[in-house]
Chains A and B, each alone.
Chain A
Amino acid sequence: METAEEQILESVVIRFAGDSGDGMQLTGTQFTNAAALYGNDLATFPDFPAEIRAPQGTLAGVSGYQIHFGSKKINTPGDTCDVLVAMNVAALKANIGQLKIGGTIIVNSDGFDSKNLRLANVPEDQNPLENGSLDKYEVKKLDITKITRLALADSGMGTKEIDRSKNMFVLGLIYWMYNRSIDKSIEFINSKFKNKPQIAEANIKLLKAGYHYGETTETFNARYEVKPAEMAPGVYRSIMGNEALAYGLVAASVKSKLPIFLGTYPITPASDILHELSKYKNFGVRTFQAEDEIAGVCAAIGASYGGSIGITTSSGPGIALKMEAIGLATVLELPLVICNIQRGGPSTGLPTKTEQSDLMQALYGRNGECPVPVIAAATPSDCFNMAFEAVRIAAQHMIPVFLLSDGYIANGAEPWCFPQSKDLPEIKIDFAKPTEEKFMPYARDEKLSRPWAVPGTPGLEHRIGGLEKQHITGNISYDAHNHEFMVKLRQEKVDKLADDIPLQTIDNGAEKADVLIIGWGSTYGAIKTAVNALLLDGKSVAHAHIRYLNPLPKNIGELLKNYNKVLVAEMNNGQLIKILRDRFLVDAIGLNKIQGQPFTTEEIKNKLSEILG
């Protein structure tokens, strides 16, 4: 046996692709954990169909998971991949476009039989494994199905069950290729199938078989080493956006001593926040799976009225349903956090694909003049910070706050140098206390925020409601001038919040330059990588990423003046750009992508280069 040659690589992108039943998401996350624990920096991109089990073997059923890991700073899951694992023809067909020329394809040849060809709409005589169309790549053809069946022939398991373990073989093989230990995955399998030792054993056997296959066969003549990345000292973990968001909410609850009440209704890609929070009852977290989104947000409002921090989570169609209640919370001036994990729209749209098309909805999507603060998370780990911020703003300013995330960062993972509880700021909250004077529910402090008087407090009995309020007393008022005054007051309250949020910083590049690219939300990684590359080329470009979308940081107008051109990159048809043009009369240029997929670094680089001339 010859030992394979070892090569050192700075970074690698692997894309696992197969049928939705092939376990590619699990394979991907297992490899991600291993890479993270090894000390690589990384970013991931799960890309799966909306159907749980779309017809097997078809293009619609292809599920993919991309991981970009390296010994350098990694900001995106990578535009193109170095290695493509394709479990069948459909997976190859759907993903070959993303593979670099000269890249490696590991295919399960059993997934290329005539049935699979037919299901993927590939004519029999054009089997890509035979027609030379893959000549530009290095193709490793393995009959993974056969190997799996042979390895588990004595397991006593049925063929269907056996076939389901194929992904473990792939995982073992990839571990071998990148010199990673299989131990953590063995631990994982043992705990996952604690009560099914037979299945655990079968999976471990295949994992090892995959690893040994790499070692003993000569299919692979090279093994790769991707060294740990240089990262700031600290303790790290791997984190996904929705997880981070849930932790951020819990952290804010601990730091404000306000119990969380989550009222919600399941929807992709927001459900995982419900799943997470429902586990944390020992933090006093109450989760309520309501009968619909309206009930979810309304229950959260009821809980806020009672002194909890009311939270509601959803996506596109669900957010649309909540709007009337968000208007109510705006008039009641109660804290509420609305987390919108955006997905492709309109209507049911693209449930599992990403988009940033709900910014205008968050800003303006209610009846009447109904301004609310809107903030957005930029990366998976940033979901923690912004969730914490959302609670802080909502509770201290007595106002509903929109927190925008999206499917891309919700499900994407990255290493996170997580904070210690002691380093997080306290969120100081004062409920109204009984007074001798007559209680005025709509009296205001310097933030223009009204008192939070919770039921049960003697002497503060008062009524609130959705009808227009008289200033200070909170009594119903249809007075013309009072209404105009209150509309302007509610706006001023949001505007004033600008005093309580950080100023806008330039993330990358100089304070004055030729072109400024502005992004918000999940486009951060792609913009960061593109601007890094251009700066290395000596280009005059800078990047600002807006996390506070309403109100905008006070210095944005000034900051824009330092650049000759402003480019606004968004995964929508141009929404933030309209706000910036409206507010600052800046002749901004738009870069828009509405394909349910995040920007590639290349797309951003190309546009910037075009503008830079």
Chain B
Amino acid sequence: MTTLIDQTAPKLTPKDFVSDQDVRWCPGCGDYSILKQVQTVLPDLGRPKEEFVFVSGIGCSSRFPYYMDTYGMHSIHGRAAAIATGLKSSRPELSVWMISGDGDSLSIGGNHFIHLLRRNLDINVLLFNNQIYGLTKGQYSPTSEKGKVTKSTPMGSIDHPFNPIALSMGADATFVARTMDRDPKHIQQMIRRGYEHTGTSLIEIYQNCNVFNDGAFEVFTEKTSKKNETLFIENGQPLIFGDNSDKGIILDGFKPKVVDLTQGYSASDCWVHDEQDQVKANILARFFDNPSIEGHLPRPFGVFYAIERPTYNDLLNQQIAYAIEKNGEGNLDKLIAGKETWTIN
């Protein structure tokens, strides 16, 4: 996304993006960190504040726009994608951000979510995944793991969960990434990448709901287990993880395998990540094993997939420009008169 940077304007600071409203998330909620990282990154993007718009649905996460001193709309449950679509289509020059939860985008708004991705509007989507319905006080969500005991599933959930990354790949998203609330640097990096991408940027953020689903992502975020359980992927780099970067991923045909880099394998044997390789991105997206299962694959974080495809907003506005070029600007009298008229004297 290219924009002119106004050299004369005073440089914005994170504080400029803090609104006058008290933040009302529970103390310790992962949402705080995400808010902070967004406020940290935005001043660096070189855009005037008035060009940012945050559109959200309903949920704890969707309160986000109130805390940003930008334009913002807290809308209705599940519909942020559709609202953002209308805004971006008609005002393509704005930087439109969508804030949503796992319930908001994958349950009630699932339809809008997949269609947004397929149309590829140039919108940055921050999907706060806490694997729970926070705002309604703790029912299971479409990303909750099978067997989860919540207020609405006293005997454990029998729903098979969505894998948001695989779902987004299936919906032909052009930018798919995952990050986590507890890794500020990585969130910032992903937000920057998402912003730079022209097209819908889907960033799934693992977010801890310390009240209703505390520790859902602990194995990925805690120092003791993080290195062994996560796989930070970078374009052009081999897939290596583990305490001492001692494990790698190789592809055996289409089957990914964990290998020990201290025993006969080296980094050069490993699968090298290529963000533009759809087949491999789909395989990576399926690294979704339950971490408690023996022999499971690590959970990838980073940009899975990033390709260029014309955006809906560009194509729509090109059609308009072309129609004007071809037919001239609309003439209302001609339009109303139509093809055939008659005169009565």
Contacts and interface: CB of A to CB of B under 8 A. Distances in A.
B86 A288 contact: yes
Contact of A282 (B68, B82, B330): B330
B329, B332, B333 interface centre (most CB from chain A within 10 Å): B332
B136 interface: no
Given A284-B330, A455-B50, A236 B87 contact: no
A282 B89 CA distance: 16
Interface string B306-345: 0000000000100110111011111011011110111111
B256 interface: no
B335 A247 contact: yes
A519 to B, nearest CB: 27
A3 B329 CA distance: 53
A235 B323 contact: no
B74 interface: yes
Interface in A229-270: 231-239, 247, 250-251, 254, 259, 261, 263
Interface in B161-204: none
Contacts of B89: 261, 286, 288, 299, 303
Contact of B76 (A33, A291, A324): A324
B93 interface: yes
Which size class do B's interface residues fall under? 35 or more
A298 B19 contact: no
Nearest to B53: A455
B112 interface: yes
B75 interface: yes
Interface string A103-116: 00000000000000
B266 to A, nearest CB: 48
B342 A458 contact: no
B73 A465 contact: yes
A457 B91 CA distance: 12
A458 B51 CA distance: 8
Contacts of A237: 337-338, 340-342
Contact of B72 (A250, A304, A463): A463
Interface stretch (A7-15, A199-207, A415-423, A479-487): A415-423
Interface string A287-311: 0101110111011111111111010
A281 B75 CA distance: 29
A228 B83 CA distance: 51
A328 B76 contact: yes
A362 interface: no
A541 to B, nearest CB: 30
Contact of B115 (A286, A295, A458, A467): A295
A346 interface: no
Contacts of B320: 281-282, 284-286
A295 B344 contact: no
A456 interface: yes
B90 A259 contact: yes
B319 A281 contact: yes
Contacts of A464: 72-74
B340 A295 contact: no
Given A283-B330, A288-B85, A295-B112, A465 B66 contact: yes
A458 B50 contact: yes
A360 interface: no
A418 B336 contact: yes
A254, A284, A325, A467 interface centre (most CB from chain B within 10 Å): A284
A228, A236, A281, A463 interface centre (most CB from chain B within 10 Å): A463
Contacts of A475: 21
B66 A303 contact: no
Contact of B90 (A232, A247, A290, A308): A308
B87 A303 contact: yes
B338 to A, nearest CB: 5
Contacts of B69: 461
A465 B19 CA distance: 15
Interface in A447-468: 454-467
Nearest to B24: A476
B95 to A, nearest CB: 9
A37, A231, A328 interface centre (most CB from chain B within 10 Å): A328
Interface string B99-140: 000000000000110010000000000000000000000000
8 contacts: A259-B90, A282-B330, A283-B332, A290-B82, A456-B94, A459-B50, A465-B74, A475-B21
Interface of A: 33, 36-37, 39, 184, 228, 231-239, 247, 250-251, 254, 259, 261, 263, 280-286, 288, 290-292, 294-296, 298-308, 310, 324-325, 328, 332, 384, 417-421, 454-467, 475-476
